[in-house]
Structure 1
Amino acid sequence: MSSKMQYSLEQVQQWSPFVEQKIQRFPELLEQAHWQELWAEGELYQRVYQQIMNAVDEEELKTLLRQIRNWQMGRIAIRDLSGLASLQEVMLTMSDLADALVTSALDWHYERLCLRYGTPYGRESGLQQKMLVIGMGKLGGQELNFSSDIDLIFAYPEGGETRLDEYSNAKRTITNDLFFTRLGQALNKSLTETTGDGFVYRVDMRLRPFGDAGPLAVTFASLEHYYELHGRAWERYALVKARVMAGDATDAKYMFDILRPFIYRRYVDFSAMDSLRELKQMIAAQVKKKGMKHNIKLGPGGIREIEFIAQAFQLVHGGRDKTLQSRSLLTTLQVLEDNNFLEEESHQDLRSAYVFLRRAENRLQEWRDQQTHSLPSEPHQQLMLANSMGFSEYSEFMVVLSKHLEFVQGQFNEVFAEDEVCESQDRLSELWLSDLEDVGDLSDQNLPVDKAAHFLKVLRDFKDSRTIKILSREGALRLNATMPLLMQEVLKPEYSEQSLTRVLSVIEAIAKRSVYLVMLKENPESLAHLVKLCDVSAWLTEMLVKYPALLDQLLDERTLYAPLEASALQHEALALLDSTGQDEELFMNQIREWRHAQVFKVAAADITGHLPVTKVSDYLTWIAEAVLNATVEFAWQMMQERSGLPGGMTEANKRNPFMVLGYGKVGGIELGYGSDLDIVFVYEGLNSSDQAVSLKGKSLDNAIYFVRMGQKIISLMTTLMPSGVLYEVDTRLRPNGVSGMMVVDFEGYKNYLENKAWTWESQAFVRVRAVVGDAESVAAFEVFKTQFLCKERSIESLRTEVVDMRLRMQNELDKSNDELFDLKQGRGGIVDIEFMVQFLVLAYAHQYPNLSVFSDNLRILEAIAEAKLLSLQEVDGLLEAYKVYRSKYHRVALQKEKYLVASTCYQVQREVVQSVWNKLMLG
């Protein structure tokens, strides 16, 4: 900020009789040294706090509080009106002043009440108790306006009673409840009493639990109990900006951890929109009743409407998106633009309107230090207001003000708009509320009689289900508002009959969490996406029934059909570690919800044609890799905390030596929907017999250390949580199978493969990749993989064993018959191609090392073509067959069908595969 004044002190006094009065009371304010420079962060707070804590008695405390408040308010007004201070500075300084005045008064009284009654201690914790003062509204957001009253709530951690010590004058103890009630009364008296120096603040305590009828100070447990049982929508709205302005920081964090679930729902909460509409309607009625049309806070397009816009998005989406859990309105508006909730232009215009209105609000209040938001009616004050805002005439000011108000009102109406009910929706609403027996009620839908009858029967069965019959009144009202919209969508000609049944299974699953019904009602696009996805996929329908939180994904088409790439997936999955810390249950639930959401987006993009089928496995494999990386890192941190670093490792050379080797589909980058993970755990670079030592001095062999880490990873992934399991995991491909160690050291793993592995295990190794591991471990694995695959083998012996194994699998697993073909195990199917690829790698990699580079069949086949081990025509035929089979594999998975097709399907592809098999494997 420039040190040059924009306006003179004489002009400032013209614009503010309050400043003129303060300069008369405090002549030193005439000196520029007192207000010219911006104070350093925290300087105002420290000055005020230290001055007030020096008060020797209550009378001096009252005097100091008021005189310091008046002097500082004079300084702030001069900086604001002269153009030295930005709006942000004024709001923050006003808030810092309130913090300092309230905290110092609180601490002053606390010390003296401890002398008088003893020091309060918690009944359960045995810890000393202190009171928290929660600042609400603009004070909570550190956006206090010039002459605002302050809304406060008093809370303390727990009940108990005071303890007497050598310094206290008390004869007997009192309860914490009584102690903090008296502390709150003393604090309020110091702030609100009017003396010759005025008052400090008007204090409003009506936002506390039960309002004026409730206790003045409440325990954390009472707060939690109140909001759980009695909390109303407007209280959620109020708590968005709540901030502990005085009290212990640790207690404050603990308290907000309790309150956050009430403020921010874990799901996207569109019920908040209706609640905010009702609140706004109440305020609008109040404004109209009191004739406050020219009120720049509460009137149309005023400050309150900008706050409602921001806080609507916060309450709806803040539980899912923590970046929206900000107390600052300007910060929230920026996040809304960053997250595409607001267009850039809308954000800039809302920001400009907010700054203009808040500056005008401060100018109105700086006139005589009065809490007013109404434009002046007296011509001289109107001119002074205009001049202070940079306009030569009041009419010019009003033109700009009106433009801002009009824009804000338009934005508000857009955000809180309710779609008009069309005539067809009215008819469908009547139909839904009827007995659903008369086929004629669907006459305008151009449905054949049999289809109309089926439609009504499905609706009747749904309506008669126990879930729907026992809905609460609120749930039933929300369902009745949503069903006509859903029926209108499902009846569109492009949807099949099964779509209604599938969609209703989702509606039945979410009916008791009726906020999702509100979401669908509020977002017609989401409803359209729901019907579309259910229509094309039984698997997606089942996902939505199992995990209703996935409905959140329907809100934004840009992300719904645009799954994340590998690097973004890794970043998001690892970010969950920061948000969950070492809370195991929280981590397990959040990573499951995250994984389900990512897979859902891949499936949605797949079945709607937004994602080529050849890329589906890539995305599904990347998701699994991201999950494995995050899960291994969580287990690694947990093991270090419990058992210290592994033996042979110090802080100086610390690294995570744990490696996850992916076999099968995850190794071959070919995961499908619902695939389990074939994985093997190894650790590299450490001796198995070295000892890890915990902070408590307990020692543990590395071998046991990493077995426990492996067990923890399995537990983290497979434990059944409310959000399901992460993946089914198969570790039987480890050395010695189920009888072998869960985790082996890398040297032992290599020794097993080189000296004890069966041919089928060598085949499986062709598709192995290190999917988790640091650079050092992965490099060591890649060297070994190349060496192992490039060993010279007896081609005829190898061919015989591979063919024998294939015949055994076919006899046991092939479900083909005269009518059906097994895509995977049938002759000429997927496994035939895989076995030929594995044979060629093991037989010829010593001659053609490029065969050992990749783990996925498609790129290995390309390497086979380069090596001319098969003709180009043969390789092209195998590639085409493999892609066709894999594509069908994904399709049947999405329809919850078995991997069997009619025996007449894929005759050309099957003949190509069998021809190559006969030539290569049978000679």
Structure 2
Amino acid sequence: MTPGRRSSTFTRLLRHGFTDPSAAERLLDCPELIPVRDDPVLLEALGGTADPDLALHGLVRLLEAQDGPTAHRELLDTLIAAKPLRDRLLGVLGASTALADHLARHPGDWQALVTYEPHDLHPGLTEFERGLEAATDPVSLRIAYRRCLLSIAARDVCGTTEMADTAAELADLATATLRAALTIAEAAAPEDAAACRLAVIAMGKCGGHELNYVSDVDVIFVAESAEDTSEAKALRSATRLASHLMRICSESTVEGSIWPVDANLRPEGRNGPLVRTLSSHLAYYQRWAKTWEFQALLKARPVAGDTDLGRAYIDALEPLVWQAAERDNFVTDVQKMRRRVVENIPAAEVERELKLGPGGLRDVEFAVQLLQLVHGRTDASLRSGTTLDALQALAAGGYVGREDTARLDEAYRFLRSMEHRIQLYRLRRTHLVPEAESDLRRLGRSLGLRTDPVAELHREWKRHTGVVRRLHEKLFYRPLLDAVAQLAPGETRLSPEAARERLVALGYADPAAALRHLEALASGVTRKAAIQRTLLPVLLGWFAESADPDAGLLNFRKVSDALGKTPWYLRLLRDEGAAAENLARVLSAGRLAPDLLMRAPEAVALLGDGTGMGAGMGTGTSAGSGRGLAPRDRAHLEQEVLAAAGRAENVEQGVAAARGVRRRELFRTAAADIVSSYGTETSPAEADQGALVDRVGAAVSDLTAATLAGTLRAVVRDGWGDTLPTRFAIIGMGRFGGHELGYGSDADVLFVHEPRDGVPEQEAATAAGKVVTEMRRLLQLPSSDPPLLIDADLRPEGKSGPLARTLKSYEAYYRRWSLVWESQALLRAEPVAGDEDLGRRFTALIDPLRYPLHGLGEDAVREIRRLKARMESERLPRGADPKLHTKLGPGGLSDVEWTVQLLQLRHGWHLPGLRTTRTREALSAACEAGLLSVEDTETLDEAWVLATRVRNAVMLVRGRAGDTFPTEPRELAAVGRYLGYGAGHAGDMLDAYRRTTRRARAVVDELFYGDGVRAGAGSGG
């Protein structure tokens, strides 16, 4: 060939889409391919394939495999003369190396593509059974299967059939193959075939008539006895037949395998028998089946074996499928399973996962199935096992908007087409989009993208996954708004009954009230209503994930009613990242945070940017001091409270200002705690529960200290001007002194004063007493702000003693009358407000009592043990379950704290690390000093943190303090949600609590009551 001719061919090949025209030229120079090279129609046909280079190479292999010159010539002549064959054969060769391999092994099978009659365009089960009927062994069945697959692929790549038809044909071919495999198995064991009636039920995509090119074929086997055969014998025979059928389809030979038959969707999965009777299936589904198993049965379809038995199986189980939506936590279970699927995708593959990744095929399928199960109970038109048919039925019934249906249908078809072409290339089971440029180019061209195949493919793929990512809000919640907003009367929308059904399935206990709230929020043509219609679909989903969706929606309506005309409110929720999700979590987590918010709705601005107690953030508004949900330190809090009290006109206003700051900061702390515990889409749940407990305790303790400081300032200024006749300090005790206050904790304190120079002691004592009395009164005045109870019962002489004493009086009392329990109580004493120098001197006074020189004697140890036993027996509420009492129960707060405090009393004088008011710090110091093993330390710490979190959770959920788990189911579920347990797992939570505290009690028995403490005492003496 001349250089000019070669250059011309080279150019033509480039123009026709060949990426390696030099190699193509060399192939075309072979004498056998001169007709191809010289025929512009053939070159153009090659250029029209997904990969012209691959198609040409496959054609060369096929021509070389022909049996002699006559067959070779016949193939070429037919290619040149018959456009249908040309397009089909070259299309397959350009899209699938696996089918090219099959044609090279079986060169006469190209004849299967010649026929072009109407019935050949859309073959059904009958045609495929005819194509497999000659197969009498596994190898011949594989060859016949590939021959049928070749014709399906040819119609697919040529566009003769569209995606849904291709998927249905693949399912019909699978059905014919299962029937043929069962026939072969029965022929191999006629005695087994005679002993039983066996039916094969297709599940998954095969059952739904929407199979992939390469996919496991999911099945369930059901059997009954034949006449005069025992059930046991029939099941053994049926199991052998089913196992043989699976081997025929799954085993690999030189002809490859057909596909794996997967029976793991059967009752009990891999652990259950392969074959069951119908009654056994029914008993399992009635008693033990999980929600996902009913979801899987949506696609169940008898495909092989005994037709009557297969139909009886469907008839028996179908009613259970349509009752599944009535199960507790139905939607939560389905959504949780979907999340688990995504979480199990390797991180490196998640963005390439076409099926399981976010915005992938499974998202469409799960959403459609969920809506089918919800509404199919009363609407039989929705009971299709085919995704696209079901989607169209949902649209026809008004359950999904038609525009949304069209976009989802388009996205699903495109993504399934991608999946088909990816699998067709090598006939391998994969859902990963390839990374190589050549693979992406072939994939894009196979989908009709020819200008810039790779860029166009990426663009279309991302566009469609973006549509699917938004399907959840569209499919589940948008129709609810359309049902109440009444903006487009001509459109089909959910009936009131259907809307109520959907709300009930999503966990709303009062759907009628929920619909009223939605109507109030979203109806109308105002800008406010328009923004609400944008926000509510997402918010409704977040509410539905909580233990009390009704409370979340009601609280959101209340906040919106209060702030709806505030210009920044809806803009904040729409534009500020996590603000809307944070608000949804907070409003549906219990009573405390919403109650605090309702008293000052402008605090919603704190939810603006960022998501937890450790984050610093700004809101972009002036509502509320501080930055987002990050807790503020004591110095800043005290500065704000003192300034607010100083600006007030009278003492009541000054203390009201202090209580207002406390309310806002309690909301900030509670909201941060909820967000960190529950996690959001932008921030996962807090991993270190101990650190979260510490931050809550520190934040509430600092806030209480600042509130007392401001109240003290206001009372002193009102009664005495700038200077009180006596120096005055407040000493925090108990959890307050230990920086461990919970949301509902009282402030345990001691009051100490010291007369100023020249002031009579009686005058000073009178002034100090008035200060204490007034502070207690003002902090408990009825108002919209939560009260703060001051408890001074740990003072000398308890309730019989004066509320405030001088430093000298404390010194005299402790020197003469102090008991061992008072030394123990003083371990948590720390100055929190008032005169700092006086507070330091009080601390110096009590240090010898709480860290006694040479530790404690055995009599003191016995007294502490006696006091603890008495406290548990006298204070544990009647009827309470001791094992679930967070404070006094075994392994609870009291057990851990008294054990730690006994170690402090014994060893604090010579181990400075133990001289702390904080329980966890003291535990850590004891471990570092060798007083506790690492394992025992971790056991006690885990129990203390868990018990503290339960108390915080109870307060957040119920709005009032409690030391035991709630008994009301929704409240218990909300506590579980806070602790990280999903819906329906309250029992697991209680079991975990008992397990954790039981381990802690074993350590306490050794350290507090047993030899552990005595041994420690000896080492410390």
TM-score, normalised to structure 2, is: 0.42
Larger radius of gyration: 2
TM-score, normalised to structure 1, is: 0.46
